[in-house]
Amino acid sequence: MSKETEFYNYITTLPETTLSQVRGKPHEVLKLIDEYPQNFMNIGPHKGTQIVTRIKEKAPKTMIELGGYLGYSAVLFANEIADDPDAKYYSFELNPEFAKIATYVIDLAGLSDKVEIIVGRASYTLPAFRQRLFSENKHYTGLDFIFIDHWKDLYVPDLRVLESLNLIAPGTLIVADNIITPGAPEYVVYVNFSPDEKKLYNETTKNPEGKEFIGRWNILYDTKTIEVATANHKDAIEVTKCVDYFSG
Neighbours of 104 (CB within 10 A): 16
* Local structure of residue 181 (DSSP, 8 states): I
Nearest approach, Cβ of residue 182 and ligand SAM (Å): 10
- 216 touches ligand SAM by CB under 6 A: no
- 89 touches ligand SAM by CB under 6 A: no
- 72 touches ligand SAM by CB under 6 A: yes
Q: Which is nearer to ligand SAM, 150 or 216 (CB)?
A: 150
Sheet order of strands, 173-176 included: 115-119, 88-93, 62-66, 145-148, 173-176, 234-245, 219-229
- For ligand SAM, the binding residues in 93-132 under the rule CB under 6 A are 93-95, 98, 121-122
Nearest to residue 95, comparing CAs of 115, 127, 67? 67
Q: Which stretch binds ligand SAM (CB under 6 A): 87-95, 165-173, 196-204, 233-241?
A: 87-95
Identify the residue among 11, 32, 66, 175 touching ligand SAM (CB under 6 A).
66
Nearest approach, Cβ of residue 34 and ligand SAM (Å): 11
Nearest approach, Cβ of residue 126 and ligand SAM (Å): 9
Q: Which is nearer to ligand SAM, 153 or 197 (CB)?
A: 153
- Pairing mode of beta strands 173-176, 234-245: antiparallel
Angle 26-34/44-58 helices, nearest 10 degrees?
Answer: 150
- 144 touches ligand SAM by CB under 6 A: no
Identify the residue among 89, 92, 145, 201 touching ligand SAM (CB under 6 A).
92
| Separation of alpha carbons 207 and 171, rounded Å | 25
Q: What is the Cα 39 distance to its own chain's centre?
A: 19
| Separation of alpha carbons 48 and 227, rounded Å | 13
Nearest approach, Cβ of residue 73 and ligand SAM (Å): 3
Residue ranges binding ligand SAM (CB under 6 A): 41-43, 65-69, 72-73, 92-95, 98, 121-122, 149-151, 154
